[in-house]
Amino acid sequence: MKPQTDKVLNIIRGKNIVGKATKEDVLLLFEHIDSLEMFLDEYEMDDTFGTEGWRHAIGLED
């Protein structure tokens, strides 16, 4: 599973606000949450990322 970019998450968030999110949108969001949970479970003992360093480590940094 690969985490979604901020752009994709913002699109899904906007669709949810207006009630237009599809089943696929919701599944993408859940996949994103699952991938973040797996990443954090793997690295929680090594708090070497600081506040925003995890974004770089998981490949979401712009």
Domain presence at residue 31 = yes
pLDDT at 42 exceeding the cut of 80: no
pLDDT at 2: 74
- Better pLDDT: 11 or 39: 11
Report, as an integer, the average pLDDT of 18-25: 95
Which string of b and e fits 27-62 if b means at least 16 CB within 10 Å? ebbeebeeebeebeeeeeeeeeeeeeebeeebebee
Domain presence at residue 37 = yes
pLDDT at 49: 62
Domain presence at residue 26 = yes
Q: Sorting pLDDT into bands at 50, 70 and 90, what band is 51? A: low
Domain presence at residue 1 = no
Using the Cα atoms of residue 51, residue 44, residue 4 and residue 27 in order, give the sign of their dihedral.
negative
State which residues form the domain around 30: 6-58
| Number of domains composing the chain | 1
pLDDT at 30: 92
- Better pLDDT: 3 or 45: 3
